[in-house]
């Protein structure tokens, strides 16, 4: 049986994310080559930059990428995985989820920089990886039984597909010269998982720390004085 590749429509939020990333990637290459202007130093997140008043770095760092492969691979995750999530969750919650993830990653990175590298740290944090981890965790929780095709050859459940992509991305981060950010991305994964599980438990009216009890139907027999049959409620 032939399986068709599922290509979700590129939603508005993800279109903005991908376009901003592509524009900044091209601008960074052109400005550094011809004008010797380093956008990574200006827009990438660093403790030294924030202390010097560049608060905007908290919001601009995700749109800078380490290379063309990062732009393509992360862009595809945002398109194929993120678009399904935005269609399922709605634009408002999806954007809130992305913003919370970005803020969490930024705060954790600044705290780690302060306690381990000091206020003179100039190592910038940049990249879509934190957002991609959050999206993959969300997809694995929302569509765990959906079947996807890895490398267009190996069908697997969405849960294992997303976990495999997370492992690949995290391995790539560890092997890159920017491996310090891998610990920050672990926090992104943990935050996304706990946040979504908390909201799920809250929506179901269950305790986040306790296993939900299976609901059993409350059945009882009502016996009438006449000879009518028994009724189950």
Q: Is residue 16 part of a domain?
A: yes
In a domain? residue 5: no
Mean pLDDT of 179-206: 82
CB atoms within 10 A of CB 80: 18
Q: Is 185 part of any domain?
A: yes
In a domain, 22, yes or no: yes
Taking only the tens place, the pLDDT of each residue in 134-191 is 898 898 889 888 877 665 567 788 888 878 877 876 776 666 655 567 778 788 888 8
Q: What is the mean pLDDT of residues 192-210?
A: 80
The mean per-residue pLDDT over the stretch 191-198 comes to 90
1-42 per-position pLDDT tens digit:
444 556 789 999 999 999 999 999 999 999 988 988 889 889
Please name the residue ranges forming H helices in 35-82. Answer: 39-43, 47-51, 57-60, 68-77
**Would you say residue 211 lies in a domain?**
no
Calculate mean pLDDT across residues 107-133: 81
Examine the pLDDT at 49 and tell me if it is beyond 70: yes
The number of distinct structural domains making up the chain is: 1
Distance CA 141, CA 134 (A): 11
Assess if residue 224 is contained within a domain. Answer: no
Residue 233 lies in a domain: no
Is residue 220 in some structural domain?
A: no
Domain that holds residue 127: 12-204
Instruction: For residue 59, give the CATH number of its domain.
Output: 1.20.1540.10
Percent of the chain clearing pLDDT 90 (strictly above): 30
């Amino acid at each position: 049986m032939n399986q068709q590749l599922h290509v979700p429509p590129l939603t508005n939020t993800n279109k903005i994310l991908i376009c901003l990333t592509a524009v900044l990637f091209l601008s960074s290459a052109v400005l550094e080559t011809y004008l010797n202007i380093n956008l990574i130093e200006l827009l990438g997140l660093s403790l030294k930059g924030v202390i010097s008043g560049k608060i905007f770095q908290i919001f601009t760092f995700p749109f800078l990428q380490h290379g063309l492969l990062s732009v393509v691979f992360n862009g595809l995750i945002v398109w194929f995985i993120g678009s399904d999530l935005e269609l399922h969750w709605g634009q408002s919650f999806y954007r809130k989820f992305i913003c919370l993830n970005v803020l969490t990653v930024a705060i954790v990175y600044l705290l780690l920089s302060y306690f381990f590298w000091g206020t003179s740290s100039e190592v910038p944090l940049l990249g879509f990886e934190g957002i991609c981890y959050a999206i993959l965790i969300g997809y694995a929780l929302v569509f765990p039984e959906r079947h996807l095709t890895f490398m267009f050859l190996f069908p697997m459940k969405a849960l294992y597909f997303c976990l495999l992509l997370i492992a690949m991305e995290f391995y790539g981060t560890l092997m890159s010269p920017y491996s310090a950010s891998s610990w920050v991305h672990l926090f992104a994964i943990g935050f996304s998982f706990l946040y979504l599980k908390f909201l799920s438990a809250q929506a179901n009216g269950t305790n986040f720390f306790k296993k939900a009890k299976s609901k059993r139907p409350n059945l009882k027999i009502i016996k009438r004085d006449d000879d009518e049959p028994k009724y189950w409620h």
